[in-house]
Structure 1
Amino acid sequence: MKKLILITAVTLSLASCGNNKKDKGTSSINIDGSSTVYPVTEAIAEEFRAVDPEVDVTIGVSGTGGGFKKFGRGETDISNASRPIKENEKAIAEQNDIDYLELEVAYDGLAVVVNPENDWVDCITVEQLKKLWEPGAQGNITRWNQINPEWPDEEIHLFGPGVASGTFDYFTEAVVGESGSSRGDYTASEDDNVLVQGVSGDKYGLGFFGLAYFEENSDKLRMVAVDGGEGCVEPSTQTVSDGSYAPLSRPLFVYVNSSSVKNNPKVVDFINFYLDEAPSLLKDVGYVPLTDAEYKEQKENFAAFVEKHQPKK
């Protein structure tokens, strides 16, 4: 029995030594948040892993709100966000002595989509979207011809991001006029792929999510132009960057924890790499880069943030 205990102890000791060696050679960066920003950050992370394979970059998708909850508790180094941080989320970070920096990394448009078999909607106005999605529509606006009498007398099936999503917050603010104000009787998911599957499988479906997800699934969906008061405009690189796709175009963000900047040099490397490589990688994943001047400003802001929080030599 003593011999067995001794062998076990030696085995555990060797395993411990091996783990310690691995820990010394590997750094980790923990990221969570917006499903909309996820493809951008994942594309950057994939390139970064090729440059520095010793860094373990993990990226979760819990929605902008879910990501800020983790970020405010100090559980993540970086938070992906498709809207600015809210006051209550700032308060949680402050309670936990977390300082942070907001960085704009890209622009995105929200795509309003229907099933390819839908042959009656080519353009929808912001007022029609409001009539469809405002809280008072719940249980009352349920058929296509209630939005436009020329559309079919068929039940409309709605798909959209869940309440933890920054896309939900942005859409409700831009369309309904108040962030978070929406009917609740629709199929909601933080996973945009679920929404794609829902609309693509339902002739009478309508949904909304980030433009990049439409472009990834354009063979399964049909995009609807939006009239914000200046005529029907479809989201594209051009209309998002020049602001003509209004009001459904927006900036996308990452937030960086000051403690991570202070304690993990790889986080600094990753963010610098992010800002350097974003312009060339964004178009591959369906997003719109900032201007050169805007990226320069973000880099300057980050350099000042690093200077402030890294230990003095």
Structure 2
Amino acid sequence: MKRILVLMSLALIIGACGDKKEKKGTEGTDGTAALSGTIKVDGSSTVFPITEAVAEEFRAVQPKVNVTVGVSGTGGGFKKFSRGETNLSNASRPIKDKEKEACEENNITYLELEVAYDGLAVLVHPENDWVDSFTVEELKKIWEPSAQGKIMKWNQIRPEWPNQEIHLFGPGVASGTYDYFTEAVVGESGSSRGDFTASEDDHVLVQGIAGDKYSLGFFGIAYYAENKDKLKLIGVHNGEEVVKPSLETVKNGTYRPLSRPLFIYVNSTSVASPEVVEFVNFYLDNAGELSKDVGYIPLPSENYRAQKESFKTFVESNK
């Protein structure tokens, strides 16, 4: 009998210790509940710097949550998202009808959240001393589908420019940046000449433009901010004046038509996971400050607050 009582006492002590262990670590480093799990994000290379910055800050608060951020381009990200392979999708344009249909086929509903504004930068080599600005019409003349095999030299744009080949660089066709640029400049999303060096990796485009005196390319302004010493930023005529992209000109709307909102999309099935809910709320709380840090333009504070409310409703409706 004594032996049984001793064993029971030991069991109670071990159980109590176990409870203490479990309770230890139920808070994150900032006092929030400690969470674990994996959050998968993929999509736009343009939105990547903001999401990665948010993920780094979130890891400091929730070290047991593994946030992975891939770069498949906006279109590639939506393909994964529509198959339920990711929790969030980075996008530098709104979701297209065919992507909505793919989500519907797989019973995936979602919430679109704006996280920042971006300006598309038009760039040349630093030794280019003949271009100081473009009109939208000139950019269209260079990039429209009918330009392929015909508009090949700089002096075909302006006679005083060099009789040298233009070497073009731009995001790949799966990129939301490509979609936005072609819509804003050519007039139809996804419509352009095909004889240019394309990459979903903006660092590849930076290297290409920086290594060729006769180059011309475009991508999101944040990647220019990281590589100012290697590239020359060109202004675009907005119909009234020549404007270069900056925090101020994108925010006040004078850098048109090459400024746009950036998004994340949240999968409805993912909000059953508390770590995803915590991450999205953390994102909306910190996107304003962190978007500035990586070269983008924050939304007004009230926009982030309104979107937090929308997200709260979305979570409650998908419980």
Report the TM-score, using the length of structure 2 for normalisation: 0.89
Q: Which 4+ stretches in 1 moved above 4 angstroms?
A: none
The Cα of 1:26 is off from its aligned counterpart by 3.5
In the alignment, structure 1 residue 216 sits paired with structure 2 residue 222? no
In the alignment, structure 1 residue 105 sits paired with structure 2 residue 115? yes
Q: Secondary structure at the match of 2:68?
A: strand
Aligned twin of 1:167: 177
Aligned twin of 1:155: 165
Conservation of the 8 A alpha-carbon contact between 2:238 and 2:254: no
In the alignment, structure 1 residue 123 sits paired with structure 2 residue 122? no
How far apart are the structure 2 equivalents of 1:37 and 1:50? Answer: 21
Task: Give 1:250's match in structure 2, choosing from 237, 260, 273.
Answer: 260
Structure 1, residues 268-298: CA drift from partner, whole Å, max 9, x if none? 0000000001111111100000001211121
Aligned twin of 1:307: 316
Structure 2: where are the runs of 5+ without partners? 1-34
Report the TM-score, using the length of structure 1 for normalisation: 0.90
How far apart are the structure 1 equivalents of 2:86 and 2:290? Answer: 24
Q: Secondary structure at the match of 2:57?
A: helix
How far apart are the structure 2 equivalents of 1:163 and 1:272? Answer: 31
The Cα of 1:217 is off from its aligned counterpart by 0.4
Matches within 5 A, 1:40-51: 40-51=50-61
Task: Give 1:232's match in structure 2, choosing from 235, 242, 250.
Answer: 242
Structure 1: where are the runs of 5+ without partners? 1-24
Conservation of the 8 A alpha-carbon contact between 2:36 and 2:275: no
How far apart are the structure 2 equivalents of 1:228 and 1:217? Answer: 25
How far apart are the structure 2 equivalents of 1:95 and 1:110? Answer: 33
Structure 1, residues 169-189: CA drift from partner, whole Å, max 9, x if none? 000000000000000000000
Structure 1, residues 61-84: CA drift from partner, whole Å, max 9, x if none? 000000000000000000000000
Aligned twin of 1:268: 277
How far apart are the structure 2 equivalents of 1:161 and 1:278? Answer: 24
Conservation of the 8 A alpha-carbon contact between 2:45 and 2:73: yes
**Structure with max Cα Rg:** 2
Task: Give 1:286's match in structure 2, choosing from 295, 299, 307.
Answer: 295
Aligned twin of 1:16: none
Aligned twin of 1:12: none
The Cα of 1:300 is off from its aligned counterpart by 1.2
How far apart are the structure 2 equivalents of 1:297 and 1:181? Answer: 35
Q: Structure 2: which amino acid aligns with 1:301?
A: S
Q: Structure 2: which amino acid aligns with 1:73?
A: R
Task: Give 2:196's match in structure 1, choosing from 186, 191, 200.
Answer: 186
Q: Secondary structure at the match of 1:103?
A: strand
Aligned residue-pair number: 286
Task: Give 1:71's match in structure 2, choosing from 75, 81, 90.
Answer: 81
Aligned twin of 2:7: none
Q: Secondary structure at the match of 2:265?
A: strand
Aligned twin of 1:31: 41
The Cα of 1:93 is off from its aligned counterpart by 0.3
Aligned twin of 1:13: none
Q: Structure 2: which amino acid aligns with 1:116?
A: P
Structure 1, residues 211-263: CA drift from partner, whole Å, max 9, x if none? 0000000010000000121210000000001111000000000000000002x
Q: Secondary structure at the match of 1:207?
A: strand
Q: Structure 2: which amino acid aligns with 1:195?
A: L
Q: Structure 2: which amino acid aligns with 1:115?
A: H
How far apart are the structure 2 equivalents of 1:68 and 1:107? Answer: 20
Structure 1, residues 145-186: CA drift from partner, whole Å, max 9, x if none? 001111111000000000000000000000000000000000
How far apart are the structure 2 equivalents of 1:292 and 1:71? Answer: 28
How far apart are the structure 1 equivalents of 2:241 and 2:141? Answer: 18
Task: Give 1:80's match in structure 2, choosing from 83, 86, 90.
Answer: 90
How far apart are the structure 1 equivalents of 2:309 and 2:150? Answer: 51
Aligned twin of 2:304: 295
Q: Alpha carbon RMSD of aligned pairs, Å?
A: 1.0
Please, which moves more after superposition, 39-48 or 290-299?
290-299
